[in-house]
Amino acid sequence: MACTGYDFGKDVQNHLDAPMPWIGMYIAAASLICSLAMAADAFHGFRSNKFWLPSNYFSLNATFLTFLAVSLKLPVDLTARMWAGIDRLAKVSSLVLMSIAIGNFMPSLGSMNNKEMLMNVTALGILVLTVIVNVCIQIVQMRGFLHRRIMFVEEIVALIFMFLQLVMLVSSAIMIPTTKKYLKSKYREMLKMTSDEELMEMKKLTVDQLRAMVKKYWVMAETSCPQFVIARSATCTASGVICLLIALALAEALLRMLIVYRTFRQTASYYDSSTKWILLIHSIGVTLGIIAPALRWYTAINFRCSEEEKRISFKDELKIETYWTQMLFEWKESPLPWHIRDRKWRKLLHHTKKSILSFFVRIQILVVLGCKLVRLISVLFMSPIISCFHNVEKLKNVSCSSASRVHQDSELGLNTEPELSRYVLLLEGEVQLPHKTLQNICNQVDKVIQIGKRQQPKKLIELLKLFGDFHGVREFDSNKVPSLHIHEPPNCWSLPLVTLTSIAIALPNVSTHNASWLLSSVNEGLFFIKFIEKCLDCSRDLANIRNAANVVWVGAELYSKWQENDLKEMSLKGKKSKETLQELSNKAEKIVLEFKRDTKDFLMEDPLNWPVKVIAANSMYRICQTILLDFEDDPPLTDEGLFKRLTVMIADILAACLTNLPRVIMIKCHRNAINHGAKTVRQAALLLGESQEILQILQQHRTPSLHPDQAAYIEKWRTFREQENLFR
């Protein structure tokens, strides 16, 4: 009977152990995903010449914490028998990969708000402490067999380094909120350098002046980027050193395993051969993951060893700046978050809180001091090597001809740009960025602008060459046209554009080529128009008007229809232009009058609340009637002649709206959110590249002297042009 029980238990255990190799492959797959994400960050950093390698893909979040938890299955498994060399090495490699992952996580803290950072750092801390506790339990329980435990020293070293990585990450997290406040304040001070007079002159700025302005804000945005600030901090530098040491420890373990056992095939665990795959992928992950921490370490050391920082002051290097501990001091002095009526208990709890936080302040100072000491030792060790690199680079520069140097400087914009180093945002105790780093930052702007130049809208540029003197802004809608409603909806830039284009392609005897060219040109223009409207309409009052324009344009561009009326079919009926205009006007008038008759809701009295179909119809009615009035006043035009006239009118409206591009570029640069500053400045640089030729065309014409706030709206333009026409 006992034998039967034993056989049954063994059979159950065999069934439970059967899927373990597949679980091992699942562990390997999770580790592979983390490794590829770290490699993607390294590739993206090299490609963008950001050698401090920002965390764009592998960041501290729930997704990668879950993958890492899976990859740490071996160290937390207390029941699996893993005594063979390859099994022990796979456990050590899991801990090493986790240490490398924490080092890669460090800059991503800068992209989080305080709540996200608290949640993610807490989750990482729970995971790391769980691994440490599990490994310690296993060591204590198996203390009688430690003499047979292979890779025990490497396992303990990996465990210690993983804990140190967590401590430095927490130390960085404590510093970040204070740092962000300081950077935001300094960023706002820099933004005040752009005065109201510069805003008034914004439309008159040349392309070169706009490029200089974008570079200035690019330097501010890049150097104040929280990820970059963390990457050049003492904690991140020390984390890079630990990553290098732990990677060397794994390499030593692999080499010793190869020398002692002369094979990587020995395994005795239930995970079977999957441990080999786990070890292989962990080794690859460590190799790829070490790139970012090592380069951040080298970049921070290079800053300290640059020509601008020849003298090393031990006192300054080991000084603890206030932003490292300020948040802890604020917590220490703040009142308790709970309401406790009893004064004695309140006093006791407050004293306890102050004592605990005072202890954490001392720990924080100790950690930062240790990191600064590690950085100082690294500087002293690497300074001769980096100096050799600098001297070699100097010799290369001397060998270049002065003419080529001048050409290179002009390409970089360094001989025409103002001194950009004063726009570099630094924290207390940070050294000035090396000139080469500043050059790389400026080169990034030039590359983005060049990308934009390759995307310039050729057909829109061809259309803009037809515009005259902005007369079309006033002429598309006449005050002589009777209103269909007691209230008139205001115009936005895009609504008359799409309405005029719909009319133009509906005209008879217009070649298909010309109609297609106009559609493509206006479509390219609407990309900029929508961008301008969205940026300048801060109150969002015209959102419904713009929505009406979008709906009309979808029908016109994709289906050649206006309000379910086939424009191509209208152009083929053999009618004259006047009859086509009247037909469109009648259809539009009917839609508006039906809405007026059927609507009893007082909210619809406000034209901003009208349905988009009615807003579009009202615009079509007024523009068609305006053109028909011109038929009565002037000699009748041919169909082609009317098409050309509408084309010029469209070009005038486009040109008038596009005069706002410099202001939009400036507004994009002026964003004071440091988390998104680099993104918006990049948009400004890309927009500058895409609109470079457009701006050059507009600068050849005299622009009305409207205030920038007036120039943003077509109705203000119309009022200004009408008043200007009265005084002629």
The two three-digit tokens of residue 624, written as one number: 């068609």
Cα separation of the two ends of the chain: 117
Residues 479 and 726: beta-carbon distance below 8 Å: no
CA–CA distance, 272 with 22 (Å, rounded to integer): 9
The two three-digit tokens of residue 524, written as one number: 């390219």
Alpha-carbon 457 to chain mean position? 25
CA–CA distance, 116 with 515 (Å, rounded to integer): 53
Among 8-22, 421-435, 674-688, where is mean pLDDT lowest?
8-22
Among 13-22, 46-55, 596-605, where is mean pLDDT lowest?
13-22
Q: What percentage of the chain reaches a pLDDT higher than 70?
A: 84
Q: Which amino acid is at 110?
A: G
Beta partners for residue 562, in sequence order: 565
Please give the pLDDT value at position 201. Answer: 57
Q: What is the mean pLDDT of residues 677-701?
A: 89
Q: Which of 213-217, 240-244, 589-593, 707-711 has the highest mean pLDDT?
A: 240-244
Query: CB within 8 A of 367, min separation 6: which ones?
Result: 167, 168, 171, 235
Q: What is the pLDDT of residues 637-649, one digit of tens each?
A: 788 889 999 999 9
Among 83-92, 486-495, 613-622, where is mean pLDDT lowest?
83-92
Among 177-191, 670-684, 694-708, where is mean pLDDT lowest?
670-684
CA–CA distance, 703 with 655 (Å, rounded to integer): 10
CA–CA distance, 253 with 154 (Å, rounded to integer): 7
Q: Is the pLDDT of residue 292 over 90?
A: yes
Please give the pLDDT value at position 351. Answer: 85
Residues 231 and 296: beta-carbon distance below 8 Å: yes
Q: What is the mean pLDDT of residues 247-259?
A: 88
Burial 110-123 (b: 16+ CB within 10 A, else e): bbbeeeebeebbeb
CA–CA distance, 95 with 162 (Å, rounded to integer): 7
Report the mean per-residue pLDDT for the chain.
Answer: 84
Instruction: Indicate the SS3 state at residue 320.
Output: coil
Residue-by-residue DSSP string for 401-439? -HHHHHHHHHHHTTTTS---GGG----TTPPPPPHHHHH
CA atoms within 13 A on the CB side of 417: 26
How many other C-beta atoms are found inside a 10 Å radius of the C-beta of residue 559? 12
SS3 content of the chain, % helix, strand, coil (to 5): 75, 0, 25
User: Would residue 305 be called left, alpha or beta, if left means φ above 0 and alpha means ψ between -120 and 50 degrees?
Assistant: alpha
Q: What is the pLDDT of residues 302-332, one digit of tens each?
A: 888 765 555 667 777 888 999 999 999 988 8
Please give the pLDDT value at position 482. Answer: 87
Give the gyration radius of the chain's Cα atoms: 34
Please give the pLDDT value at position 596. Answer: 83
Q: What is the mean pLDDT of residues 286-292?
A: 95
Say if pTM beats, i.e. exceeds, 0.75: yes
Q: What is the pLDDT of residues 594-621, one digit of tens each?
A: 888 877 666 667 888 889 999 999 999 9
CA–CA distance, 579 with 331 (Å, rounded to integer): 77
User: Would residue 87 be called left, alpha or beta, if left means φ above 0 and alpha means ψ between -120 and 50 degrees?
Assistant: alpha
Helix (H) or strand (E) run with residue 616 in it? helix 612-633
CA–CA distance, 405 with 397 (Å, rounded to integer): 8
Phi and psi angles of residue 395, each rounded to the nearest 5 degrees, phi first: -60, -40
Question: 81 or 89: which carries more pLDDT confidence?
Answer: 89
Counting beta carbons within 10 angstroms of the beta carbon of residue 347, is it exposed (0 to 12), middle (13 to 18) or buried (19 or more)?
Answer: exposed
Query: Which 8-state DSSP code applies to residue 83?
Result: -
Number of helices (H), then strands (E), belonging to the chain: the values are: 32, 2
Q: What is the pLDDT of residues 206-245, one digit of tens each?
A: 888 889 888 988 998 888 889 999 999 999 999 999 999 9
Beta partners for residue 8, in sequence order: none
Alpha-carbon 723 to chain mean position? 44
Residues 108 and 55: beta-carbon distance below 8 Å: yes
The two three-digit tokens of residue 69, written as one number: 């938890």
Q: What is the pLDDT of residues 429-487, one digit of tens each?
A: 888 888 888 888 888 899 999 999 999 999 999 999 988 788 888 888 888 888 888 88
CA–CA distance, 261 with 714 (Å, rounded to integer): 81
